[in-house]
Copies of this chain bind each other. A is one copy, B any other.
Amino acid sequence: MLANQGSTAKIVRPTTLRESVLERILELIIIGSLKPGQHLVENELADNLGVSRQPVREALQLLSGEGWVDLRPGHGAYVHAPTVEEADQLLAVRTLLEAESARLAARNTDKRDISALRDICMRGLAACLADDVDAAVVANSELHTAVVNMSGNRVLADLTSQVARRVRWYHTPVARHRGKASWEEHAALIDAIESGEEDVAADIMRRHTEHTRQSYLESRAQHPEEEPPAPIRRRRPRAVSS
């Protein structure tokens, strides 16, 4: 829902090999090539990416810090498989954080920021009416990021980003479910922020993200088959020989 932006105290310049490895692995997780619960064998990743195990290991350590993979000492790394319950809790926290962001944004309202918000909102609505789901998702992400940045609380912004990213998957179906109504809520939110109505802004954002949460839950309830986080397998079937 939010664009990638580094957490508070992470890596600054993306120059190293482990950084590019991290990006690659993350991409594979996001697009689903690496499935939830899947065991990430260091050698395989290293071979596929054309590097040694070392940068792969370090990338996995960093990814664990962001909640993308779980490390099991002696067993290696596994793609984190969020349960419905965890996703629900993540979204509940996101609601809390973003509502506060909206409140603070209304408090620190700034004309330039407002016009930027309106621009994004227009684009989002246009994309929505044109049935361009991808563009709508991007605009949605930008809008929420912009609001949370307007809060002026960097910690809040980082945490929101982190939480939002951890929900991942199924954003597009969720976005498809709602559509135009969502952008009307965004417009109302911007109005409230502009006029400095803290409580109103917070409340709109709260209900807005709560809607998203409901859509998400319904979406997963309709597709329970997407749930099971792949059983853990360590060894490949032995080669048939002799």
Which residue on chain B has the smallest CB distance to residue A70? Answer: B9
Does A30 count as interface, using CB distance less than 8 angstroms? no
Stretch among A114-122, A134-142, A155-163 lining the B interface: A155-163
Inter-chain contact B65/A61, CB cutoff 8 Å: yes
Inter-chain contact A96/B100, CB cutoff 8 Å: yes
Which residue on chain B has the smallest CB distance to residue A73? Answer: B16
Does A241 count as interface, using CB distance less than 8 angstroms? no
A181 to B: closest C-beta gap in Å: 26
Inter-chain contact A86/B155, CB cutoff 8 Å: yes
- Indicate the size class of the contact surface on chain A: 35 or more
Does A46 count as interface, using CB distance less than 8 angstroms? no
- The interface residues of chain B lying within 8 Å CB-to-CB of A90 are 155
Does A43 count as interface, using CB distance less than 8 angstroms? no
* Sample of 27 A–B contacts (CB below 8 Å): A9-B64, A9-B69, A10-B64, A10-B70, A11-B64, A11-B72, A12-B71, A13-B72, A13-B74, A15-B73, A16-B73, A16-B74, A61-B65, A62-B65, A86-B154, A89-B153, A89-B155, A90-B155, A92-B153, A92-B155, A92-B156, A93-B97, A93-B153, A93-B155, A93-B156, A96-B96, A159-B163
Closest 9 CB pairs of A and B: A65-B65, A61-B61, A89-B155, A16-B73, A89-B153, A9-B70, A9-B67, A9-B80, A11-B71
